[in-house]
Amino acid sequence: MNKKILVTGSNGQLGSELKALSSNYKDYDFTFVDRTALDLSNLCKMEDFFDTKTFDVIINCAAYTAVDKAENDTESANTVNNKGVNLLSKIAKNKGISLIHISTDYVFDGKNFSPYLETDKINPQSVYGKTKSDGEEAILKVGAKNTIIIRTSWVYSSFGNNFVKTMLRLGKEKDELGVIFDQIGTPTYARDLAKSILDIIANLHNEAPEIYHYSNEGVCSWYDFAKTIFELSHIQCKVNPIETSQYPTPAQRPYYSLLNKSKIKKHFKLEIPYWKKSLSDCITKIISYEC
């Protein structure tokens, strides 16, 4: 009998990539829901949704991700990223459903000098990061088996709005751009993460919730990222390195958010692509959509 997989946040970058890959996984029956069908900010209706439906696995891609807006919209961000996640985790435990929850590098303060391990202390510096870390804590407290949290960083895709698409647009409109060079991390192609999640499902056998880190391989700054986007897309736009202080935002970003991926690679036997290779694949896809 096929496993029944529920994907929340189905119109986001990761949800869209899971949808695009789903036809390759014949042993799974997928249900994709967006906020209109399952709203993590509406706790009453969440329980109603599961009263008449059964699933084997939930992949929770739903989140409040407007990082800067969250600074003045704390209640909404907390309801989705913490309270909604808490309830979803309890529902999964009560019904014996496996849960894969997506979290973020923003749970860290960015002051490390080596890639963050799953066991490193969290210290979020923004409302978004705090609500996501509270959601993680809620899942750990519920303590359901076959539950994992995957922290990721700098997500982009051929779907939705993201840094890659913004640079492709601005690169054609402007002769030069200033891009931050003093924030270091690794881009994550949502398609690579989606494929890894779908490969992980069959190997979820943990008695208590586990945290894993996932991004593409390698390291860069946002400046390096932008330069590579233009090089791969043959856009002639000069990129000038600027400091974070020259581009102030309401929410503080981690200066350093490299994630150590040894645990997820070893446990699930994953091979993770290098970020430039994945970026090239994504840009090819975006350009093909435009043609």
> Which SS3 state, helix, strand or coil, does residue 133 take?
helix
Active-site pick, 25, 106, 116, 128: 128
Look-up of token digits 């407290």: 141
What gap in Å lies between CA 173 and CA 176, rounded to an integer? Answer: 9
Q: Which two tokens stand for residue 21?
A: 């890959």
Q: What share of the chain is helix, strand, coil (3-state, %, to 5)?
A: 45, 20, 35
What gap in Å lies between CA 216 and CA 194, rounded to an integer? Answer: 12
Look-up of token digits 């002639």: 236
Q: What angle is formed at CA 168 by the lines to CA 166 and CA 170, rounded to 5 degrees?
A: 65
Q: What angle is formed at CA 285 by the lines to CA 280 and CA 290, rounded to 5 degrees?
A: 125
Q: Examine the residue annotation and report whether 64 is marked as an active-site residue of this protein.
A: no
What values do phi and psi take at 100, rounded to 5?
-115, 115
The residues annotated as belonging to the active site are: 128
